[in-house]
Amino acid sequence: MQGTAFGRTRATLLVMQDADSLATSRTDSLMSAAKDSTSDSTVQRSSLKWYSMITNIPGDWVTYYKQKTQRTSIPEFLGLGVLTAGLIITDDATYEVSDRWYKNSKTVSDVSDFFVSLGDGKSQFALAGAFAAYGLIGGDQRALRTGSQIVQAVLASGSVVQLLKHITGRESPFVRSSATGIWRFFPNQLDYLKHVPAYDAFPSGHICTALATVIVIAENYPDTKWIRPVGYVVSGLVGVGMVNRGIHWYSDYPLGLALGYAFGMIAAHPDGIIASASDASKTHVSVAPTMGEQGVGLSMSIVF
């Protein structure tokens, strides 16, 4: 009896010792993992250099190419093609209205000029500089990252836009020689440089860089819910202003918006974009031509 009791007691002590050893091992593992995580975070923060906004651009082009050459991108390009074609049909009518509106109202012309200036790249770089300055002064890594990614997205998307402009060679409205502007594919580059407005309408770089900037800021500050709706409205007003001034047609915008969104997301997520169930509830914009009793026009909806 005593031997049995002693054996049970000894077994119990061994079990308790094993449990203590296991708990200690788990604690050590957790502490090690925490140290590794902290180390990884430190490495990630320190990996952001002042030149990252430039050196990351080739990788952004590669990522975009890989994303858009998959079968899953076919519906996107079909949709862009149909939407662009539909808007081309209405371009003459919408520009006539916008041009008349711009020329007959000083308020409209002043407001249009103001919003056009917001999409010329200077505002985007100014915003990037503001984020960088705040990050440096306040030691805010997120602000520094946002400023760097804005420049990265603007340059990466802007270079693709310029390449497409030099391929498509579409006339801007204010120099048009046909109802919806002539397309001169693969134009003579010397002629392009001498008469830029006659070749550089499609796609819109203004709308592309404006949206890319909004996406980068919104992705870095996801808890600030007003960034997307306000940013989308401002981007939309930039687009309206450019049509009013005769710089762009509405059909120049679908591809410009798609490029801006894609490169904004790529820049804001250097480790890749992880899809989640919440993605379906994110804000999105849709633009489509409309026809009614008052004529032909364009409708834009924002869901957020």
Residue 299 has a pLDDT of 55
Could you please report the per-residue DSSP string of 64-116? HHHHHTSGGGHHHHHHHHHHHHHHHHHHHHHHHHHHHHHHH-HHHHHHHHHHH
* CA-based max dimension of the chain: 110
Residues 6+ apart with CB under 8 A from 146: 128, 131, 135, 216, 217, 220, 221
Residue 276 has a pLDDT of 44
Q: pLDDT tens-digit profile of 196-239?
A: 999 999 999 999 999 999 999 999 999 999 999 999 999 999 99
Q: pLDDT tens-digit profile of 279-293?
A: 444 444 454 545 455
Question: Do the beta carbons of residue 194 and residue 176 sit within 8 Å?
Answer: no
Report the 10 Å Cβ neighbour count for 289: 20
Q: What is the pLDDT along the chain (304 residues), one digit of tens a residue?
A: 344 443 443 443 333 444 444 344 444 443 443 343 333 333 344 467 878 999 999 999 999 999 999 999 999 999 999 999 999 999 999 999 999 999 999 999 999 999 999 988 899 999 999 999 999 999 999 999 999 999 999 999 999 999 999 999 999 999 999 999 999 999 999 999 999 999 999 999 999 999 999 999 999 999 999 999 999 999 999 999 999 999 999 999 999 999 999 999 999 999 886 544 344 444 444 545 454 554 445 455 544 4
Residue 186 has a pLDDT of 97
Question: Do the beta carbons of residue 181 and residue 173 sit within 8 Å?
Answer: yes
Residue 49 has a pLDDT of 84
- In this structure, what DSSP letter does residue 277 have? G
Residues 6+ apart with CB under 8 A from 172: 181, 197, 198, 200, 201, 246, 247, 248
List 286's β-bridge partners, or say none: 301
Gap between the Cα atoms of 123 and 116, Å rounded = 10
Residue 278 has a pLDDT of 43
Instruction: Give me the residue spans of the domains in the chain.
Output: 48-273
pTM of model > 0.85 = no
Residue 21 has a pLDDT of 47
| Architecture of the domain made up of 48-273 | Up-down Bundle (1.20)
